[in-house]
Chain A
Amino acid sequence: NAGVTQTPKFRVLKTGQSMTLLCAQDMNHEYMYWYRQDPGMGLRLIHYSVGEGTTAKGEVPDGYNVSRLKKQNFLLGLESAAPSQTSVYFCASRRHRNQPQHFGDGTRLSIL
């Protein structure tokens, strides 16, 4: 009964390094989302996907890329990390567009 699993849970990067965050869901959900959470700003949508092979930009997409090659996985990439990308990243998924989103436990990313 894993739900939404995010890997890794913590990571420290140097400015300019690249990395990929993995989100996996075992609920056969169509919709998947990547958010970042910063103090006092709530959660802001980075990118989302409405189905396998599709992606779209959210509110704050700059500096990030995503891929949804398999229905159960949604990858978030940082090509050249910047200190402004220090944040907690959450992945979420839902079965239908009007159902609640299910969240992972987050990835805490620090960029020095």
Chain B
Amino acid sequence: AQSVTQLGSHVSVSEGALVLLRCNYSSSVPPYLFWYVQYPNQGLQLLLKYTTGATLVKGINGFEAEFKKSETSFHLTKPSAHMSDAAEYFCAVSDGSGNTGKLIFGQGTTLQVKP
């Protein structure tokens, strides 16, 4: 069975500092991996995705993530945090070989950006 673990339910950084949100997954088949962002009282918005090919994936708003199969990780980074990055972030894994397209989500990480 697939699962996702996000390390740290709350992460606090200063504006301009590096953002690192950790995600580890478990999957018996090659995974498709996603990061979503949720702003208050809104739905989830896709930041980036990994399906196949290049393991370093660039997304919107300056975020990127690297798929490391040996570490079963898909950590999200941004070189310099902005106040507008404060939100909740979800990592998710999909069974790429199945027919359902179901996503399994991590429990989420709330990013706080301090001025």
In the complex, residue of chain B having the shortest beta-carbon distance to the beta carbon of A106:
B43
Determine if B96 and A103 form an interchain contact, defined as CB atoms under 8 angstroms apart. no
CB distance from A33 to the nearest CB of B (A): 7
Determine if A97 and B101 form an interchain contact, defined as CB atoms under 8 angstroms apart. yes
A21→B107 CA distance, assembly (Å): 24
User: Chain B residues near A94 (CB, 8 Å)?
Assistant: 101
User: Chain A residues near B101 (CB, 8 Å)?
Assistant: 31, 50, 94, 96-99, 101
Q: Which of B27-68 contact A (CB under 8 A)?
A: 32, 34, 36, 41-46, 49, 51
The verdict on B90 contacting chain A, using a C-beta distance below 8 Å, is: yes
Determine if A48 and B100 form an interchain contact, defined as CB atoms under 8 angstroms apart. yes
Tally A-B pairs: CB < 8 A: 65
Bin the interface of chain B by size.
20 to 34
A35→B106 CA distance, assembly (Å): 13
Determine if A90 and B102 form an interchain contact, defined as CB atoms under 8 angstroms apart. no
CB distance from B1 to the nearest CB of A (A): 10
Q: Which of A43-58 contact B (CB under 8 A)?
A: 43-45, 48, 50, 56, 58
List residues of chain B with CB under 8 Å of any chain A CB: 4, 9, 32, 34, 36, 41-46, 49, 51, 90, 94, 96, 98-103, 105-108
Jot down 28 A-B pairs with beta carbons below 8 A, ordered by A: A4-B43, A31-B101, A35-B105, A40-B9, A42-B108, A43-B44, A45-B102, A48-B100, A48-B102, A50-B100, A50-B101, A56-B100, A90-B43, A94-B101, A98-B32, A98-B101, A99-B101, A101-B44, A101-B46, A101-B101, A103-B36, A103-B43, A103-B44, A104-B43, A105-B42, A106-B41, A106-B42, A106-B43
What 3 A-B pairs are tightest by C-beta distance, nearest first? Answer: A97-B101, A103-B43, A42-B105
